[in-house]
Amino acid sequence: MTDKLAAARARIDALDRRIAVLLSRRFALAAPLRALKGRAADPARERRVLANAAAAVKKGHAPHARAVFVEIIRQSKRLQAPK
């Protein structure tokens, strides 16, 4: 492995750790919301979240960010599902 590759991977690993911490915080906030909203799905809110994610990244990355947030929303709904 080249030094450049190793350095890039180290930066990615650091970002991945930060993303994981932020996801954990997001899931902790999302989990109890079902009791407040009465159902797990809110299509208008989901569209806003996806639009915000797409707008927050560089132009060419919008479809990829959107795909990631589709999965984040799916996992958040799973956390909100009745046990």
Token output for 1: 């492995």
CATH number, domain of 38, equals 1.20.59
- How many domains are there within the chain? 1
pLDDT per residue of the chain (83 residues) written in tens, 0 to 9: 799 999 999 999 999 999 999 999 999 999 888 788 776 678 999 999 999 999 999 989 999 999 999 999 999 999 888 77
**What's the rounded Cα separation, in Å, for the pair 27 and 80?**
9
Q: Which domain holds residue 39?
A: 3-80
| Predicted TM-score of the model (pTM) | 0.87
